[in-house]
């Protein structure tokens, strides 16, 4: 089978879907791999590295994708008709594998279905032990949590750690982290490594032990209804519980030097947790890093993709942070995709098996149908 790896065309994207080390493993497993020339340049992975891994480096992207059985992508393929319309390049029945974020890109899903592409989205793999090595959502969230703390440390007008100097002692920064899934836990660990005094909260009380194991102090409220949606995800709170949560957040944000938000509902949508009134109560010179920006933002005054100053508070809402660490982000993303393919490889070919729990959960489209139930429901609502 032939695997094609085209360049990513999303503005600001520097990752590539396949790194040379994973490319080598796929070639050894019997796949013929082609990579578009320059696809890895922004991640400091040159064409020569792919050639050494056994891949062919192609200059005609349309022909490469058109002859492929499997196409690997970081983001959904370009489908805007602005000079690079990748979906029509694919033959019906082609397998597309990448982080498609179907609920954020429903029209792309509709186009893939119309083209009869078999599309798998690795951000939809179940959070099980067996699927862990294929979970791009977690791999990239880990980078997001790490880089978000570094952004805060760079912008804060204070040290993160406590320092005892000849000029006297300065006390550690107080960092408040909202959300303790993968990004939040990595943010806690990174802030602690930098010496900050870290507090964290999550609507799922079962993560208290994880927060404390990383050296942070857990703060939370007792909810009337469970907020766990299973699989490490949270669901939206009831109105009564939202009121209780706002009170806690307002209190903790007012005390913090740095607030880092990582909350997503179902791993997709960012709930608005920090209000303008909360920002107004925060200390002058404090920082908010809104890591929910890709899902719409956790702070109601965030400007997505920008850094702004509001009442003396710096609010940073970065988009696509993994792309700012393209070498390791590409390496990890690539390993996730290769793990997916190799798990279902038999006799040098990818075997489609929708009875398997991983394939069943992550398949989005096949044979003209949208199989991902939540995306199908979202598109039906748009039509209504």
Six-digit token string for 93: 């029945």
Six-digit token string for 163: 């320092």
Q: Which residues are catalytic?
A: 127, 132, 135, 138, 233
Instruction: Report how far residue 190's alpha carbon sits from residue 8's, in angstroms, rounded to the nearest whole number.
Output: 29
Give Cα 90 distance to the centre of its chain.
Answer: 26
Start-end of H helices in 31-78? 47-52, 61-66
Instruction: Report how far residue 84's alpha carbon sits from residue 11's, in angstroms, rounded to the nearest whole number.
Output: 13
In order, the DSSP letters of 230-259 are ETTEE-PPPHHHHHHHHHHHHHHHHH-SEE
Instruction: Quote the radius of gyration of the chain (alpha carbons, Å).
Output: 22
Which contiguous run of DSSP H or E holds residue 361?
Answer: helix 357-362
Q: Are 364 and 99 in contact (CB under 8 A)?
A: no
SS3 state at 3: strand
Instruction: Report how far residue 313's alpha carbon sits from residue 286's, in angstroms, rounded to the nearest whole number.
Output: 5
Q: Which residue has the tokens 């791993």?
A: 267
Cβ density class 61-83: b for 16+ within 10 Å, e for less: beebbbbbbbbbbbbbbbbeeee
Number of CB atoms found within 10 A of residue 370's CB: 23
Instruction: Report how far residue 78's alpha carbon sits from residue 366's, in angstroms, rounded to the nearest whole number.
Output: 19
274 DSSP 8-state letter: B
């Amino acid at each position: 089978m032939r695997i094609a790896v085209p360049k990513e065309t999303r503005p600001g994207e520097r990752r590539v879907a396949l790194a040379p080390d994973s490319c080598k493993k796929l070639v050894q497993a019997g796949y013929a791999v082609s990579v578009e020339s320059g696809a890895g340049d922004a991640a400091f992975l040159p064409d020569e590295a792919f050639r050494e891994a056994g891949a062919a480096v192609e200059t005609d992207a349309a022909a490469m994708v058109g002859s492929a059985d499997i196409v690997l992508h970081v983001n959904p393929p370009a489908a805007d008709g602005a000079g690079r319309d990748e979906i029509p390049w694919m033959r019906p029945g082609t397998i597309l594998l990448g982080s498609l974020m179907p609920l954020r890109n429903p029209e792309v899903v509709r186009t893939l279905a119309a083209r009869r592409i078999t599309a798998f989205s690795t951000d939809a793999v179940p959070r099980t032990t067996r699927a862990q090595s294929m979970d791009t959502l977690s791999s990239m969230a880990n980078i997001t949590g790490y880089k978000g703390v570094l952004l805060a440390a760079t912008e804060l007008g204070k040290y993160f750690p406590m320092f005892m100097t000849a000029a006297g002692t300065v006390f550690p920064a107080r960092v408040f982290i909202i959300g303790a899934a993968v990004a939040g836990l990595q943010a806690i660990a990174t802030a602690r490594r930098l010496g900050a005094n870290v507090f964290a909260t999550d609507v799922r009380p079962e993560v208290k032990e994880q927060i404390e194991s990383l050296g942070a102090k857990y703060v939370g409220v007792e909810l009337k209804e469970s907020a766990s949606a299973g699989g490490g995800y949270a669901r939206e709170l009831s109105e009564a519980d939202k009121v209780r949560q706002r009170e806690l957040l307002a209190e903790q944000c007012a005390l913090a030097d740095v607030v880092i938000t990582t909350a997503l509902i179902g791993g997709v949508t960012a709930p608005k947790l920090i209000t303008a009134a909360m920002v107004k109560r925060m200390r002058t010179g404090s920082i908010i890093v809104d890591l929910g920006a890709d899902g719409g933002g956790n702070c109601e005054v965030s400007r997505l993709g920008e850094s702004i100053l509001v009442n003396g508070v710096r609010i940073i809402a970065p988009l696509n942070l993994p792309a700012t660490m393209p070498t390791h982000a590409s390496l990890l993303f690539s390993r996730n995709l290769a793990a997916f393919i190799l798990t279902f490889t038999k006799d040098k070919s990818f075997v489609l098996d929708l009875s398997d729990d991983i394939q069943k959960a992550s398949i989005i489209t096949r044979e003209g149908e949208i199989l991902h139930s939540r995306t199908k429901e979202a598109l039906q609502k748009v039509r209504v």
